[in-house]
Amino acid sequence: MGDLLYCRAGFEPECAQEIEWHATQRGGHGYARAERDSGYVVFNGEGPTPAVRELVFARQSLALGAELKGLDPRDRLGPVLEWLRANEVRVCDAWVEAPDSTAGGELTTLCRGLEAAALAALRKHKLLDPASTQRLHLCMVSGTHALLALADVATASPWRGGIPRLKLPREAPSRSALKIEEAWLVLMDEAERERWLRAGLTAVDLGAAPGGWTWQLARKSIRVTAIDNGPLAQHVLDTGVVTHERADGFRWRPRKPVDWVVCDMVEQPSRVATLIAHWLVDGHARAALFNLKLPMKKRWPEARACLDGLSEALANAGKGAYDLRAKQLYHDREEITVVALPQRSKRGSRSAS
């Protein structure tokens, strides 16, 4: 029937533009249906669908099976069970959820109770199979309107709503510490985290103050040079692995290459993307993680232009293959977070493009 995409409320147009762009790039076609501030997009089209990790503005990507309207409050699960039986579908689990929106927040209690009932009903009707590769998602738009969808467990986001729930430690210098932690979880797999976030690596944090990202890197025992004319929290400096240099993040360069350059400066996205391109092309850093603060209008075209420009700069410089992955994270606002990792091999690579 199509695809169901979860996104940040208010960014439905960008999510819709992106999925339509992907359909065209893959030789398919289709159209997206989006309602402002709903927190989700429905895409009707043909052709291969990108995995959620390839999408910038979607937190979750699901195969839409049916749109159920006019549900009887006394038997909301009847049509769900009927659809599963008619399509001979068995699932390994069932999540009943609501979009991350104002309206969705009012359905939390309903979703919790309905999920317990759904799991019991699936067991009773022998529609629950631990060996199944599909998970049932029932997205409640209202008390009488639901979207029935299926997740491929291997490729879908492993978190409800596509949102890893993180708690800000008391000692974090700022809430931005959650951005980089979420980026590591969402944009990197376990093997990459083991390789790229191990003790003894080196990093430069451009625009570091008050030190949220530097603090997270220091917790991994990565040696960080924090660049900012502003002050860093004293306990960040007291970690013993942080050096603070008061300098302009756009002008400063290291004396020898580092493993990471990270950047969360409030600046034009094209300027930040160009800065990171110089760091990678000139060999100052092997990998990068940075934020792009998007404009109020034409946010998808701007994001696409920045990612394409960085890819082109790396290709023209003969720097080898890079994986570029971008996502508007839960802890982002009017921005997206991008990671650039050199590929060890082309096999199994993923890209934001």
What are the phi and psi torsion angles at 322 (to 5°)? -120, 145
Whether the Cβ atoms of residue 175 and residue 168 lie closer than 8 Å to each other: yes
298 is catalytic: no
Q: How far apart are CA 292 and CA 78, in angstroms?
A: 45
Whether the Cβ atoms of residue 150 and residue 91 lie closer than 8 Å to each other: yes
- The active-site residue, picked from 69, 167, 293, 298, is 293
Q: How far apart are CA 15 and CA 6, in angstroms?
A: 9
Instruction: Write a three-state SS string for the chain.
Output: CEEEEECCCCCHHHHHHHHHHHHHHCCCEEEEEECCCCCEEEEEEECCCCCHHHCCCCCEEEEEEEEECCCCCCCCCHHHHHHHHHCCCCECEEEEECCCCHHHHCCHHHHHHHHHHHHHHHHHCCCECCCCCEEEEEEEEECCEEEEEEEECCCCCCCHHHCCCCCCCCCCCCCHHHHHHHHHHHHCCHHHHHHHCCCCCEEEEECCCCCHHHHHHHHCCCEEEEECCCCCCHHHHCCCCEEEECCCCCCCCCCCCEEEEEECCCCCHHHHHHHHHHHHHCCCEEEEEEEEECCCCCHHHHHHHHHHHHHHHHHHCCCCCEEEEEECCCCCCCEEEEEEEECCCCCCCCCCC
Centroid of chain to Cα 321: 22
Active-site amino acid positions:
293
